[in-house]
Amino acid sequence: MRLFIFLLSLAVVAAGQEIVSSGKVLVNGEVLTKSTKIKQGDTIETQENSNIRFNIGKDAFFAKSNAKFELIKMGEKRILNVVNGGVMAVFGGGNHGVSTPNMTAGIRGTGVFASVKEGKTYFCTCHGETVVEANGERKTYKAKHHKMVWVTPEMTKNALDMQGHEDHEIVALEAMVGRTLPAIFH
């Protein structure tokens, strides 16, 4: 089984970028190939039974099946715009943000997970600090190990359980860009 999964995986390492995927992944509507380089401005879509993990410099991203997200650059700010599905991201230095259809978050040296489904956003500050703006409110979340919220068009409320992501995934993303997390994640 592991050999089968390995054979289905596509791994690309070029110019400091590592891309690991399985299944069908689209970048700007085109099927990901060994020569694909992902950059700011691209739209990534994972199809059924697929996933992708990649870095752009000191930022790294992971998406499972049926996710669609954009990597937007607005001046010096880099924004992860999650359209649907779940995306995990870890950010190095610089000006970053996360947006979904019903919230935005300012990022400060942080690992996050955002999942959009049926008009709701599940957002986790896995570690670090975020400033979430939704429903006319602005709230700062500081986390050493996961602080989660649900955002709907009507309200923002704390989530009780971690959903759609696991500690080992964020550890792998941080390792991809040469960083480690505290023992609580291992």
Output the domain CATH number for residue 134: 2.60.120.1440
Would you say 134 and 156 are in contact if contact means Cβ atoms under 8 Å apart? yes
Residue 186 belongs to some domain of the structure: no
pTM: 0.91
pLDDT band with cut points at 50, 70 and 90 for residue 8: very low
Residue 185 belongs to some domain of the structure: no
Kindly provide the b/e burial profile for residues 150-172, where b requires at least 16 CB atoms within 10 angstroms of the residue's own CB.
bbeeeebeeeeeeebbeeebbbb
Side-chain half-sphere CA neighbours of 135 within 13 A: 12
Q: How far apart are CA 176 and CA 22, in angstroms?
A: 17
178: closest CA among 15, 57, 19? 57
Task: Report pLDDT for 93.
Answer: 85
101: closest CA among 130, 76, 135? 135
Task: Report pLDDT for 183.
Answer: 86
Task: Report pLDDT for 91.
Answer: 96
Mean pLDDT of the chain: 91
Flag whether pLDDT at 61 surpasses 90: yes
3-state secondary structure of 98: strand
Contacts of 138 (CB under 8 A, 6+ apart): 131, 132
Number of independent structural domains in the chain: 1
Residue 129 belongs to some domain of the structure: yes
Flag whether pLDDT at 154 surpasses 70: yes
**Which range of residues forms the domain containing residue 104?**
2-180
